[in-house]
A and B are shown apart, each in its own frame.
Chain A
Amino acid sequence: MMTEFPCKENRDGVCAPASRAEAAAPAPSLYVHVPFCARKCAYCDFASHVPVPGEAAAWRCALQQELELRRAELAVPLRTCYVGGGTPSVLPIAELRGLLEMLRPLVADDGEFSLEANPATIDEPTADTLAAGGVTRVTLGAQSFQPGELQVLGRLHAADDVSRAAVLLRRAGVANLAVDLIYAIPGQTPAAWQDSLAAAIDLQPQHVSCYALSFEENTPLGTDLRSGRVSELAEDLQRSMYDVAVEMLTAAGYEHYELSNFARPGRPCIHNLVYWRNAAYLGIGPAACSYVAGERRSTTPDFRDWLSALAGDPPTRPSAETETLDARTAMAETLMLALRLTAGVDEAAFKGRYGLSPAEAFPESVARQLQIGTLEQQGGRLRLAREAYFTSDAVLRDIIAETSPR
């Protein structure tokens, strides 16, 4: 059951011209933010907290209200629906079931219906609930298979929870599994990283993501870094860890389709492709972001604010920061996102969408990066050179810097 994204070509960095009208039209993709976790991980700055009893039910009621208030922005049936967080799988079974019952009717029969799960929270009833609720794809936040590293990260689960969860999910009927890994963990050795990669590959997921640990302010790990209790791995070591991940995963048959993402042929995360192609999506739940009709909207991350707006009589839209993008910013964002795809951006499609090719829109920076060799042009596509994957922000920053009016 392969999902077709409504763009001409599945690998396009941008939507084909025909989809331009879609940008102003309702979004065929939905993101749902679950703001709860069983415990906060040491590195996490996502909007999530440990729920007090009753909060999950209140959240679901409010979410229902929000969905109704914003229903007009959705194009049903949805091509993708992504339940993330937070940890959706910590919801009490009843709430989880209710959530899925609410969402499932919106999703097309051949749509992608993803949910993020903490391996420790997958037991048989949960797995069955997900499968019965129509979830087609589960992302397991494995992060590492080394007990010591899991501890540094402050993760709740144990190393063998991941394989146990995979078995339960598959047995219940969820065939499309994704595994997330983190590298560059303080104390991590190259050998330990290779072991984790090997363990992930052993599980034969359809999708693997590898993210370098980032030390965010106001997280325990961020504080430890600043105070010198932990230190960041050397850049060269991080880079070689990235290289080894690319090597091992491609050797195991995964396509390196995005800087940090690898998929079996035909199994990329369709929902994330919506982001990378800068197509429209609606986000609901606290801290959720939307991009509908050319407007970016970030809902308040404050759970109480979000809740009280929607629990009001009548319910009102929670506060949000919004930004309507001008053409240049939209072009810059499209490039910023599309260049994360290893196939890069189709220059003709880009021109079809904006009237200018990337090199016409950003003549100085694109020429400069082509000359340095960090960008390359091939077969009508503009993409990052392999050597520049790990320094891609420098390229993107140069392009963004050219967005301001001269």
Chain B
Amino acid sequence: MDQSRIRNFSIIAHIDHGKSTLADRMLLRAGAITQREFREQLLDDMDLERERGITIKASAVTIHYERDGKTYVLNMIDTPGHVDFHYEVSRSLAACEGCLLVVDCAQGVEAQTVANAHLASRSELAIVPVVNKVDLPAARPEDTAMEIEHLIAHPAEDCLFTSAKTGQGTDEMLNAIVDQLPAPAGNPEGKTRALIFDSTYDDYRGVIVFVRVLDGRLKVGDEVRMVGTGETHEISEMGKFTPKRTLCKEFGTGEVGFISANIRSIASVHVGDTLTLDADPADEPLPGYRPPQQMVFCDFFCGPQTQFPDLREALEKLQLNDAALTFQPISSDALGFGFRCGFLGMLHMEIVQERLEREHDADVVQTAPTVGYEVLKTDGSVVEVDSAGELPPTDQIEEIREPFVRVDLIVPADAIGAVMQIAEERRAEYQKTEYLSSDRVILSYEFPLAEIIYDFYDKLKSGTRGYGTMDYEMIGCRANDLVKLDILVNENRIDALSLICHRSKADPRGRAVIQKLRKEIPRHQFEVPLQAAIGSRIIARETIRAIRKNVTAKCYGGDVTRKRKLLEKQKAGKRRMKMVGNVEIPQKAFMAVLEGEED
């Protein structure tokens, strides 16, 4: 393989700007797929991806593109646009020399456009800006090109204009990839170094490792060593997705592809690790990446139909393909055994929950997501606490620190006032305003992470007529006046319902949570008192009245089946619930904790 004919690039953009559809177009144009095989967002092959119409996991494909009698090998990585999966973008970029920065010109530059563009420039990648969706009636290609110029100092007139829908601009885009992106550097004679940028699990082949060869070469039969873990394995198979799985014998310098080496445990493979030859190892590993950082945590408990070992197995299986998911067993006084899980964000959490239910038929009761706190204890030690139930006793707490994030909000200039007010209500600290164009600005803030994980995005959208977008990045923990709010159901303190919040908000929050619980917990055959408390001080209470009537008073004759089915139907809605004492707490009630203050 002629190294000068290789181009390694990622497609990056804000969510829904058309990355995956552009990838389809290039596959079609390069003849990698036939018109008959063509289907929208071909690379989004997970059921959930297809259903939600979003990319969750980055995928790498190789296209052979002929031009002027020469064949170029284009290794393309389609990345997700959602902020939760930003991590996928950063590791994809590390395997590339360039990227396509795609912007939907009906929307203009949005928050993840900015975040991803910055990531690409920091990684010193060549950027080809692509103004997409020019076919839309609301398209503003010139304005969008100007915004891009402003963002990355790339002349507006050099932008490519495409429509993934009609195919317009596909040739220009492929040409730009060949002409404007550099071929991989790297020393073919040097000691072999390959970056592991992704891995998946296959029941038959074990762990499949995606690599990008930086120096030297890899071939079938090579005994390779993973520098980080020190483990060695023999390469049994290697190949590329074109997008069909196509095997080959060797990767030269600059090439991208997958290898399998009969690796059974995903734990042996660290994404970001360096692969080298065991017989002739490289001295310097590649820089690698920071491990993904879990932003939110929640507990999964077994629903009525699921057993603990099955839930563990299901989580382990999911983790094989989702290295960003963490979990550890926990036990709750009220809810029994379960797992504390860490996620990249709310969407990630939702997806894991949904996959557990669908792919593993596990019904889980999930506690409300929380962020990870740090507690400085009176003895000087610092502990990490990712659930309110785990807080040490009050008299051992010196201070509680909560995570802060730097938040960039891109909003129309005329919505600045509304957005600032929303930010203020959420304890945000204003940093700066930057104009993206005459009518769009980037507002930068520092927020307590806890204030943005739940409904902040919805508030932002409604405060900006749908135009506002946001991106955030962890900065670290800061001490704050935080208290633990306990919730008692039928006189039982339910650890899974307790929460940590700012003292100034505790009272209204407690009232709101109790109000919500009153609506979500069904009536029982007895009265159920609800209370919110800080320490021993009760700050809110409510009572759920007992059911007075629940009887099939009518005679069904011999139609016993119908009567049973009716009762069964009532029970079917109860898959996701937990009995605490004799009180049924449905899934929705656990989410009550997210309720803000009373409006």
Contacts and interface: CB of A to CB of B under 8 A. Distances in A.
Contact of B548 (A235, A290, A298): A235
Given A212-B551, A214-B553, A372 B525 contact: yes
Interface of B is mostly: loop
B567 interface: yes
B526 interface: yes
Given A394-B547, A397-B571, A406-B305, A337 B558 contact: no
Interface in A293-324: 296, 298, 321, 323
A368 interface: yes
A351 B341 CA distance: 44
Q: Which of B557, B559, B568 lies at the interface centre, i.e. has the most chain A CB atoms within 10 A of its CB?
A: B557
A97 B299 CA distance: 70
Interface of A is mostly: helix
B574 A401 contact: yes
Nearest to A391: B550
Contacts of A235: 547-549
Contacts of B525: 372, 374, 388, 391, 394-395
B547 A391 contact: yes
A87 interface: no
Given A281-B558, A336-B563, A390 B307 contact: no
B559 A212 contact: no
Nearest to A261: B555
B561 A396 contact: no
B245 interface: no
B570 interface: yes
B568 A400 contact: yes
A209 B555 CA distance: 9
Given A372-B526, A404-B305, A393 B564 contact: no
A236 interface: yes
A283 interface: yes
A259 interface: yes
A334 B526 CA distance: 26
Contacts of A210: 553
Interface string B285-318: 0000000000000000000110100000000000
B560 A290 contact: no
B570 A296 contact: no
B558 A333 contact: no
A239 to B, nearest CB: 5
Given A388-B525, A401-B304, A289 B558 contact: yes
A7 B554 CA distance: 26
B548 A283 contact: no
Contact of A390 (B304, B305, B550, B582): B550
B522 to A, nearest CB: 9
Given A275-B558, A289-B559, A260 B553 contact: yes
Interface string B535-567: 000000000000111111111011111111001
A211 B548 CA distance: 16
A152 B582 CA distance: 41
A20 B526 CA distance: 38
Interface in A245-303: 259-260, 272, 275, 278, 281, 283, 288-291, 296, 298
A393 B548 contact: no
A404 B562 CA distance: 17
A239 B553 CA distance: 11
A155 to B, nearest CB: 16
Contacts, number: 105
A288 B558 CA distance: 8
Contacts of B561: 289, 296, 298, 321, 323
A259 B568 CA distance: 21
A374 B579 CA distance: 17
Contacts of A65: none
Contacts of A368: 579, 582
Contact of B560 (A31, A259, A278): A278
Interface string A149-174: 00000000000000000000000000
A275 B557 CA distance: 8
Nearest to B555: A211
A21 to B, nearest CB: 21
A84 interface: yes
A128 B538 CA distance: 73
Contacts of A329: 564
A162 to B, nearest CB: 19
A332 interface: yes
Nearest to B522: A394
B307 A31 contact: no
A389 interface: yes
Contacts of B550: 390-394
Given A372-B525, A401-B304, A289 B557 contact: yes
B583 to A, nearest CB: 10
A239 B549 contact: yes
Nearest to B559: A289
B563 to A, nearest CB: 7
B363 to A, nearest CB: 11
A43 to B, nearest CB: 9
A214 B554 contact: yes
Contacts of B560: 275, 278, 289, 291, 296, 333, 336-337
Contacts of A323: 561
Contacts of A374: 525
A278 to B, nearest CB: 7
Interface in B567-599: 567-568, 570-571, 574, 579, 582
A372 B582 contact: yes
A371 interface: yes
A212 to B, nearest CB: 4
A194 interface: no
Contacts of A392: 550-551
Contacts of A391: 525, 547-551
A221 to B, nearest CB: 13
A214 B566 CA distance: 14
A272 B555 CA distance: 10
Contact of A259 (B551, B558, B579): B551
A238 interface: yes
A298 B562 CA distance: 10
B571 A390 contact: no
Interface in A189-243: 209-212, 214, 235-236, 238-239, 242
B492 to A, nearest CB: 14
A8 to B, nearest CB: 22
B336 to A, nearest CB: 13
A397 B559 contact: no
A394 B552 CA distance: 10
A397 B554 contact: no
A399 to B, nearest CB: 9
B582 A371 contact: yes
A394 B546 CA distance: 11
B305 A332 contact: no
A243 to B, nearest CB: 11
Nearest to A400: B567
Contact of B571 (A242, A278, A321, A401): A401
B63 to A, nearest CB: 50
A260 B552 CA distance: 9
A133 to B, nearest CB: 21
Nearest to A398: B571
19 contacts: A212-B549, A235-B548, A235-B549, A238-B549, A259-B551, A260-B553, A260-B555, A272-B555, A275-B558, A275-B560, A278-B560, A333-B560, A333-B564, A336-B563, A372-B582, A374-B525, A393-B550, A396-B567, A397-B567
Interface of A: 31, 84, 209-212, 214, 235-236, 238-239, 242, 259-260, 272, 275, 278, 281, 283, 288-291, 296, 298, 321, 323, 329, 332-333, 336-337, 368, 371-372, 374, 388-397, 400-401, 404, 406
Interface of B: 304-305, 307, 524-526, 547-555, 557-564, 567-568, 570-571, 574, 579, 582
Given A400-B568, A401-B574, 11 more contacts: A31-B558, A235-B547, A235-B549, A236-B548, A238-B549, A329-B564, A336-B560, A391-B549, A394-B525, A394-B547, A406-B307
